[in-house]
Copies of this chain bind each other. A is one copy, B any other.
Amino acid sequence: MLQIYDDTYFMRQALQEAHRAAEQGEVPVGAVIVSQNRIIARGHNQTELLTDVTAHAEIIALTAAADFLGGKYLPDCTLYVTLEPCVMCAGALAWAQLGRLVYGASDEKRGFMRYGKSMLHPKTKVEFGFQKEESEQLLKAFFKAKR
């Protein structure tokens, strides 16, 4: 039986990744990449574990997806991520020619949207606000515990 999943389902999977990051003391952001209704890559923030500022959920998922597909470009993929990507990640998604980006909470300080959608590939579709409350709560709880 072919099961068709929807954006809510995939964003829940990204949130699961964010919870994994939180459990490991990392800023709780998670991502999954979907191709043909199937998750082909997962990632969560691992900047502390890897001592690497580039180890964001999106970058890890992007590299894993390209590895899985055997090609650098992801025009037929959707990336679900719990937080608005930063400039670095948006730049990476642009190079990857991502087909569709779905994100949860907004990030007014660090998010790429302050520069506008033109930072992404012109063909990338963007939607946001998916389950943003849970993503925000996770982040708030994390930073509150840090203080």
The interface of chain A, by Cβ under 8 A from chain B, is: 47, 51-54, 59, 62-63, 66-67, 70-73, 86-92, 94-96, 115, 119
Determine if B62 and A53 form an interchain contact, defined as CB atoms under 8 angstroms apart: yes
Determine if B53 and A95 form an interchain contact, defined as CB atoms under 8 angstroms apart: yes
A92-B54 CB under 8 A given contacts A87-B87, A87-B119: yes
Pick the 10 closest A-B CB pairs, nearest first: A88-B91, A87-B91, A53-B95, A88-B92, A53-B96, A53-B72, A54-B92, A52-B63, A51-B66, A88-B88
Q: How many copies does the complex hold?
A: 2
Per the bound structure, the CA–CA distance linking A88 and B51 in Å amounts to: 18
Per the bound structure, the CA–CA distance linking A86 and B94 in Å amounts to: 11
Distance of A125 from chain B, by nearest CB (Å): 19
Distance of A80 from chain B, by nearest CB (Å): 19
Per the bound structure, the CA–CA distance linking A94 and B70 in Å amounts to: 30
B-chain residues with CB within 8 Å of residue A52 when the two chains form the complex: 62-63, 66-67, 72
B-chain residues with CB within 8 Å of residue A70 when the two chains form the complex: 51
B-chain residues with CB within 8 Å of residue A73 when the two chains form the complex: 53
Per the bound structure, the CA–CA distance linking A73 and B48 in Å amounts to: 11
Distance of A139 from chain B, by nearest CB (Å): 17
Determine if A53 and B92 form an interchain contact, defined as CB atoms under 8 angstroms apart: yes
